[in-house]
């Protein structure tokens, strides 16, 4: 009983941490939609991620079959999981890099003011969210299988972690959209995570601590800078650019 409780709590925490990149990508995708559609897209996207994870857990035998070798190349036996991770990593790198370009070139400003913004359909955003959900869900489920032995514990932990993510998705999304520096940093993390998925798919295991450690440190530094700007604004000592970002 105690072992199951520990496994449940540990898995919930791990799923929430690993699901942060999923929240960031959903937030960035829905931000390109009109404000009236953002909540709907975010809810459908996160609900889809939850259903996908539970569905994969209910087909454990099929999921674990994905790790069986399909072909060998350069002494590495590639499985369907490897191929999915590689394709998902490439897609994530492409999407995140494209969004960084949009931010750096100021294309988001045209979108906000409706000037020459590229048309983005609701269905397209949902398809992109679901594709990324599929990649993150597969990694999440395989992690759950390795952490717990009973399917009921896995499903309960995934459901609880997804509920936590859904509750905080809007808060995190709004914060990212408000601060350009945070958004670019989050997108840079997603590029890094995409590269990690590609490496994992090619048989090069990367300890997640080496990824999430620097991410946490960089976030801490950005947090200090935002706090400095906030204090400067209260004292009336702030540049025009800083005032715009704090608005």
Mean pLDDT score of the chain, rounded to an integer? 77
- 15-42 confidence digits (pLDDT tens): 777 677 778 888 888 887 888 888 888 8
- 140-186 confidence digits (pLDDT tens): 776 666 666 677 877 888 888 888 888 888 888 888 777 777 888 88
Residue 1 has pLDDT above 80, yes or no: no
- Per-domain boundaries in the chain: 2-206
Tell me, letter by letter, the H, E, C secondary structure of the chain: CHHHHHHHHHHHHHHHHHCHHHHHHHHHHHCCCCHHHHHHHHHHHHHHHHHHHHHHHCCHHHHHHCCCEEEEECCEEEEHHHHHHHHHHHHHHHHHHHHHHHHHCCHHHHHHHCCCCCCCCHHHHHHHHHHHHHHHHHHHHHHHHHHCCCHHHHHHHHHHHHHHHHHHHHHHHHHHHHCHHHHHHHHHHHHHHHHHHHHHHCCCCCCHHHHHHHHHHHHHHHHHHHHHHHHHHHHCCCCHHHHHHHC
pLDDT score recorded for residue 236: 67
- 217-242 confidence digits (pLDDT tens): 888 888 888 888 777 777 765 555 55
What confidence category does residue 118 fall into, taking pLDDT thresholds of 50, 70 and 90?
very low
Residue 244 has pLDDT above 80, yes or no: no
């Amino acid at each position: 009983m105690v072992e199951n409780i520990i496994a449940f709590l540990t898995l919930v925490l791990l799923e929430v941490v690993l699901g942060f990149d999923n929240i960031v990508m959903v937030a960035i995708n829905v931000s390109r939609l009109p404000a009236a559609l953002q909540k709907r897209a975010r809810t459908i996207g996160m609900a889809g991620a939850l259903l996908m994870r539970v569905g994969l857990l209910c087909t454990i035998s099929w999921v674990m079959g994905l790790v069986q070798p399909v072909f060998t190349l350069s002494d590495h036996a590639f499985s369907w999981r490897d191929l999915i991770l590689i394709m998902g990593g490439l897609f994530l790198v492409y999407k995140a890099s494209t969004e960084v370009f949009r931010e750096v070139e100021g294309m988001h400003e045209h979108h906000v003011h409706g000037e020459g913004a590229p048309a983005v359909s609701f269905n397209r955003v949902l398809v992109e969210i679901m594709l990324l959900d599929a990649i993150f869900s597969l990694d999440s489920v395989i992690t759950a299988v390795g952490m717990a032995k009973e399917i009921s514990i896995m499903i309960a932990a995934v459901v609880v972690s997804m509920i936590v993510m859904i509750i905080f998705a809007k808060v995190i999304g709004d914060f990212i959209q408000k601060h350009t520096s945070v958004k670019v940093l989050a997108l840079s993390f997603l590029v890094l995570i995409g590269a990690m998925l590609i490496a994992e798919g090619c048989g090069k295991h990367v300890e997640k601590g080496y990824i999430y450690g620097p991410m946490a440190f960089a976030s801490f530094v950005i947090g200090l800078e935002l706090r400095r700007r906030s204090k400067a604004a209260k004292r009336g000592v702030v540049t025009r650019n800083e005032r715009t970002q704090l608005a």
